[in-house]
Structure 1
Amino acid sequence: MNRRKWTGVAASVTAAALVLTACGGGDNDQAGGGLQGTDQAAQGSWAINEQPYDQVKQGGELKWPLDALPDNWNYNQLNGPLVDHDYILSALIPKLHVADKAGKIVVNPDYLESATLTSPDPQVVTYKLNPNAKWSDGTPIGWEDFDAQFKALNGTNEEFSVAGTTGYEDIEKVEKGAADNEVVVTFKKKFAEWTSLFSPLYPKSLNADPKTFNEGWIDGPKATAGPFKIETIDQTAKLVSVVPDPNWWGRKPKLDKITFRVVERAALADSLASDAIDWYKIGSSVDNFQRAKAMQGVEVREAPGKSYNHITFNGAETSILADQKLRVAVMKAMDPNVYAKGILGPIVADPKALGNHFFLQGTANYVDNSAPIKADKEAAKADLEALGWKMDGEFRKKDGKQLDIRIVSTAGNPISEQISKLTQAQLKEVGVNVIIDAQPSATFFSDFVNTGNFDMVGFGWSQTPWPISSSKGIYYLDPNSVNQNFGRIGSEEINKLLDQANAELDDAKRVELTNQADKLIWEAGHHLPLYQVPGAVAVDAKLVNFGAFGVADPDYTAMGFAA
C-alpha cells in the first residue's frame, strides 16, 4: 500500500495514502527565463545532469534540506507519510517497485527477482526475493515480513494507527512459496494497483503489535536494508546523517554521506549560497527562483511536477464547515486561478488551476471536473444569503454568530502565508472573516492536520505512481479510521466508486470510475485544488544524477558529484 505524501502546503502519493508536503513549493528554461507550465513540461522527462555510474566521483557529502524531521520513522503509521520522510527512507528501507523516468513501474532488482500476477481470479501475486536481501541485523528479508505488514495494515485491528489500509484490506492471506525466497499473496478481492503494496517494506518486528507499530520507531529506525544506514539523528540540531552500509549487497553508493538538515523555507536561498546545502526546491517561490538564477555555480533544473497545493475543508461536526452547502458556497468565492496567477504568474507564463483530485495536468487521464465548484462570487453571496448568513457590518452573521473561518498554515513559509492572505482577501469580498493561524512546521501535521484541528488548512499532496489507490484514503469516509481524510468528508457513493475503481483491472474502466468519483468529490466540497507546483529545483552545478526527477524514483547509489 502506497500512500500520498503531504508537503507543508503540498504533498505526494504512494499506494495506500498520499505523501504530504508543506506549501511551497533548470536545464530546460523557457524563453524569457521563466519556468515551463504544467501543460508544456513533457511527461517522461527529467533534469538531473545524468552521467554514467563509473564517471561519478567517489566520495563527497550531499547536504539535503528538509522542512522537518520525521514524526515517526514508520512510514505506514498515521504520522509517517511526509515527503521529507520519504527522502530519507528511500536510502534506507526496501521499495519493491519503483518508477522509472517515464513513470513506468518496474521491479527493484535489489530486492526482487520478479513479481508476477500468477492468477487473475482469484488474484494471486508471487514474489521472488533477491536471496542476498537482508535486514541490517543479518536476518534475510522473507515472507514473514510481508505477512506481518499485511496483518498490521489490513484494518482488522483498529489499535494499529495506520495511514491507510488500501490494498492490504483486499488480501486474504500471505504464505511462504515453494522456496525460501518466494512469497505468495492471495487476494479475496481484486486490487488493480498491486505493485504499490509492500513499498516500503518493514521488518516483521515493527508490525508485531500495535504499540511497537505506533511508537517503536518514533526515535529512529530499528533496522534498515538499503544502500545507506543511519549515522546520526540529532533532534537538537535538527539533522539526520546517513552513510553507506558496508553490508549492502547492491551497487555501492558514490557518496560518502548524505546529511538531511531542517532549513526554514525563507532561508533556503541563503543556505545554498553559503554552501550550507547543495540544493532546494523552487516550487512556487518567485524569490527562490530569481535567487537561484543569479547564483554562480547553481543550475535551475526542471521536470514535470508531481505535487499540488490545495486547501482542505473540515466537515467534522465541530467545524463551522460541517454543512456541505456552506462549504460549497465558500469554495465558490475562492477562485483557484487567483492563486495560480498570483503565485506562479511571475515565473510561469500561463499557470492554470488544477481541476482534478486524482490526475495531474499533462498526464493522459487528466480531465477538468471542477464545474460543480465554478468560481463565482455572486453565486457565493446568494448561497450564503439562502443559508441564513446575512451581512451585518463588514462580515456575515447568523443567529448572532459571525461567520469566522480559521485557516491553519505553516509559520515561516512564504507560500503558505501568500495562500492564506489570498484566501482571506477573497472571502472578505463575500462577507466571510478568515482568521489565519500560523503554526510551526514541526507540529503542523501531527498536532493540527492529523487531528482535524482546523476549519481550513493549506498543504500539498505529492503523487505516487499509483494515483488511484494512493488517493483512496484521502476521500474514503470510514467511521472507524480517518486514514488521510483529514476533513472527514465523503459519502457511501464515493466509497462505492473508489472500491470499484481499485478492483477494476481494466485501465480505461478504472480511470472512468475514478473520474466519476472525482465529480462527486468536487460536489461534496472535500478540498479545493489550487495549482500544480512546478517541478523545478536549484542545484549545485557539480551535482550529477540529481535534481528534478519528475515522476521517477531517485537512485541513491548513482547520485554524487562530477569527477
Structure 2
Amino acid sequence: MIRKKWAGAAVPVAAALLLSACGGDADSPGGGLQGTDQAAQGSWSINEKPYAEVKEGGELKWPLDALPDNWNYNQLDGTLLDHDYILSAIIPKLHKADKAGKVVANPAYLESATLTSTEPQVVTYKLNPKAKWSDGTAFSWEDFDAQFKALNGSNPAYSVSGTTGYEDIEKVEKGAADNEVVVTFKKKFAEWTSLFTPLYPKALNSDPKEFNEGWKTEPKITAGPFKIGTIDQTAKLVTLVRDDSWWGDKAKLDKITYRVVERAALADSLASGAIDWYTIGSSVDNFQRAKSMQGVEVREAPGKSYNHVTFNGAPTSILADQKLRVAVMKAMDPNVYAKGILGPIVADPKALGNHFFLQGTANYVDNSAPVKADKEAAKADLDALGWKLDGEFRKKDGKQLDIRLVSTAGNPISEQIGKLTQAQLKEVGVNVIIDAQPPAAFFADFVNTGNFDMVGFGWSQTPWPISSSKGIYYLDEKNVNQNYGRIGSPEINKLLDEANGELDDAKRVELTNQADKLIWESGHHLPLYQVPGARAVRATVVNFGAFGVADPDYTKIGFAG
C-alpha cells in the first residue's frame, strides 16, 4: 500500500499499491512502459478537454485498496494515498501543483498567499470571500490558528502524522480584513506553501479527542465541489455527490463512487465495468490486460511514487543494531527487485538511490553507496557481528537470525517483493518470515505501531519533497511522526532542520543530500525502485489519467461529450 507525503506528513502506500498510467503505447521496446528516468517531466496523459466540452453528469467508478482509517488526514492513521483521492474532492487544499510541478495558490480558496517579510518570515493569506464550510461558516483565521496549534507538536495529546513547518510558526493572527490571515514564523520555513493543505475547520482541531477520534467514521464538515453521499463500511464503498453549495466551477460529474477492489481483481473489474480505471504500477499482468482490453487506454506520465522496505530500529526489534541493518541491506540488491518486477514491462529499470528526490528530476543524485549491494561484504559483516552460520541460517547466542517482514495480503507485488527478499537474504543465512496482513489493518495495526522487523510499502512524493519527508527521518522521542522504524540521529535532525529553514534553493538541496547520505548510513529504509506512472483508463473518461506531478481538477473530470 502507499502513503502520501505532505508537509507535516507524508503519504505511504502498501507496496505495489502504487500504480499509474500513460497515454497510448509507450516508446519502450516491445510497447512497454517508459522508465522513470526517461519520462518527460512536465507531461501528463489525461485525455485533456476544455471544461465546456465535458459531458454534463455521469458517475466515475474509482478503485481503492482500503477505506480511510480516519477522515482526519493529519491524524497518524489518516495519511494514506487512498484517503487523499477522496479528500481532494471535499476538503480545501490551499495550494496545488500544476502540470509543470509549479506550486500555485488554489483560487477556489485563496485570492493570494504572499511572503510579506523574511525577517521575521511572515506569510499573508487573503481568503476567497466566497469560501465557506458545509455548515455555512465562512473560512476564518481561526481555522488556521486551530490547525497550527494542533499540529505544532506542543500538545502530545494530538496524535499527528507530522509537525513539520507548523512547529516553526510563532503565531497566527487576523489581518487587516476578515478574509486576511497573517502567519508569523519564529524560524524560517522554506516550503511554506505546503502548510494548511489540507485545511480543516476549527471544530476539528480545537480538541485532541475530536482530532484523534471525532472523524474516524466520517468527515463532519466539508468544503469542495463534492460532498459525502454515503459511506458503507460493510460494502467497502464511499460515494461523493456534487455539492450544489460549491461556489466554484460546477463539477461535471454527478457522482464519484469509490470501492475497495483487491489488486488481483483490478483488471477483471475494469473489464466488467465495475470500475473505470486502475493504476498499473509494477504489475506485468495488469499492464498486459490493459493493452488488450477494448475501450481502454494506457495513459502514462512521470511516476512520483516508489516502493521500499522500512527497517525497525526500535530497542525491541532484532534490527536495533545499525551495523546489522546495514549488513542486511547489503544483501538486498535493489536492482534485483527493479529488474525482476519491472523488467518485463520497462526497458532497463533503475534502482532508486535517493530518499528525497526522484529519478528524472533536476536534484536527483545517487547517494546509496553506504549500502551498495555486495553479498560477500554482507556475509563478512554478519560474521563480525557474531551472527555465525549454523546450518541453513545464522545464529548468535543460541538465537536464530529470524526477521519478520510484514506485507499486504492479496497484493501480487507485495508477494513478489517478499519472495525476492526472502531468497536474497537466505543466500547470506538470514531467515525472512513473511507476515501478510489485510490492507484494512496494515497501517493502523502494524506500520503505525512499529509492529514489524521489516515492512514493505510505497511512498508517494509531493511538490514539497524536503519538508514532506522530514517526519519520516526526523527522530523525535516525543512524536513518532512517520518515522515508523524509530531510526535517526542528532546529525540527521540538524541537517533536516537547516534544510527546511534555508530559503536559498541550491543550499537547501545541498543540505538535503548531505542528510540523505547519513540516512543511507543509518540503515533507515531501502528504496527499491520508482513505480512507473501509468494508469489503465476507460477511453471515454476525460481530464483524468496519468497526471505526472500535477494535482487533478475534480471539477473538470468527466466523460467525452
| TM bracket (short chain) | over 0.9
Shift of 1:14: 1.6
Alignment pair present for 1:393 and 2:385 = no
Cα offsets for 1:150-208 (capped at 9, x unmatched)? 00000000000000000000000000000000000000000000000000000000001
CA RMSD, aligned part only?
0.6
Alignment pair present for 1:44 and 2:42 = yes
Match of 1:216 in 2: 214
Cα offsets for 1:503-539 (capped at 9, x unmatched)? 0000000000000000000000000000000000000
Letter of the 1:20 partner, please give it. P
Alignment pair present for 1:294 and 2:286 = no
Letter of the 2:87 partner, please give it. L
Letter of the 2:382 partner, please give it. L
Answer whether contact 1:56 1:562 (CA < 8 A) is retained. Answer: yes
Match of 1:480 in 2: 478
Match of 1:500 in 2: 498
Match of 2:69 in 1: 71
Alignment pair present for 1:17 and 2:9 = yes
Letter of the 2:383 partner, please give it. E
Shift of 1:90: 0.1
TM alignment of 1:531-546, pairs within 5 A:
531-546=529-544
* Structure 1, 275-284 or 19-28: larger mean CA deviation: 19-28
* Structure 1, 337-346 or 18-27: larger mean CA deviation: 18-27
Answer whether contact 1:11 1:307 (CA < 8 A) is retained. Answer: no
Match of 1:151 in 2: 149
Match of 1:327 in 2: 325
Match of 2:461 in 1: 463
Which whole-Å CA distance do the structure 2 matches of 1:268 and 1:54 have between them? 31
Cα offsets for 1:377-420 (capped at 9, x unmatched)? 00000000000001100000000000000000000000000000
Question: 1:322 aligns to what SS in structure 2?
Answer: coil
Q: Provide TM-score, normalisation by structure 1.
A: 0.98
Match of 2:79 in 1: 81
Alignment pair present for 1:548 and 2:538 = no
Which whole-Å CA distance do the structure 2 matches of 1:78 and 1:203 have between them? 18
Which whole-Å CA distance do the structure 2 matches of 1:389 and 1:282 have between them? 40
Match of 1:560 in 2: 558
Letter of the 1:44 partner, please give it. G
Residue among 96, 103, 128 paired with 2:126: 128
TM alignment of 1:74-223, pairs within 5 A:
74-223=72-221
Which whole-Å CA distance do the structure 2 matches of 1:405 and 1:21 have between them? 22
Cα offsets for 1:414-436 (capped at 9, x unmatched)? 00000000000000000000000
Match of 1:3 in 2: none
Shift of 1:16: 1.4
Answer whether contact 1:13 1:465 (CA < 8 A) is retained. Answer: no
Match of 1:431 in 2: 429
Residue among 23, 30, 34 paired with 1:27: 23
Question: 2:5 aligns to what SS in structure 1?
Answer: strand
Match of 1:451 in 2: 449
Which whole-Å CA distance do the structure 2 matches of 1:158 and 1:456 have between them? 27
Residue among 348, 366, 369 paired with 1:368: 366
Shift of 1:21: 1.0
Shift of 1:12: 2.7
Which whole-Å CA distance do the structure 2 matches of 1:354 and 1:478 have between them? 26
Which whole-Å CA distance do the structure 2 matches of 1:194 and 1:355 have between them? 27
Answer whether contact 1:11 1:463 (CA < 8 A) is retained. Answer: no
Which whole-Å CA distance do the structure 2 matches of 1:14 and 1:475 have between them? 14
Q: Which runs of 5+ in 2 are unaligned?
A: none
Which whole-Å CA distance do the structure 2 matches of 1:384 and 1:58 have between them? 64
Which whole-Å CA distance do the structure 1 matches of 2:13 and 2:440 have between them? 12
Identity %: 84
Q: Provide TM-score, normalisation by structure 2.
A: 0.99
Letter of the 2:177 partner, please give it. A
Shift of 1:39: 1.4
Give 4+ residue runs of structure 1 displaced > 2 Å after superposition. Answer: none
Cα offsets for 1:343-388 (capped at 9, x unmatched)? 0000000100000000000000000000000000000000000000
Residue among 342, 345, 348 paired with 1:347: 345
* Structure 1, 22-31 or 447-456: larger mean CA deviation: 22-31
Q: Which runs of 5+ in 1 are unaligned?
A: 1-7
Match of 2:278 in 1: 280
Shift of 1:32: 2.0
Question: 1:308 aligns to what SS in structure 2?
Answer: strand
Which whole-Å CA distance do the structure 2 matches of 1:137 and 1:155 have between them? 28
Which whole-Å CA distance do the structure 2 matches of 1:191 and 1:453 have between them? 33
Shift of 1:27: 1.8
Shift of 1:11: 3.3
Question: 2:486 aligns to what SS in structure 1?
Answer: coil
Answer whether contact 2:3 2:79 (CA < 8 A) is retained. Answer: no
Which whole-Å CA distance do the structure 2 matches of 1:296 and 1:463 have between them? 32
Cα offsets for 1:457-493 (capped at 9, x unmatched)? 0000001100000000000000000000000000000
Which whole-Å CA distance do the structure 1 matches of 2:118 and 2:249 have between them? 35
Residue among 60, 66, 72 paired with 1:62: 60
Cα offsets for 1:296-346 (capped at 9, x unmatched)? 000000000000000000000110000000000000000000000000000
Cα offsets for 1:131-164 (capped at 9, x unmatched)? 0000000000110000000000000000000000
Cα offsets for 1:56-83 (capped at 9, x unmatched)? 0001000000000000000000001100
Which whole-Å CA distance do the structure 2 matches of 1:449 and 1:479 have between them? 17
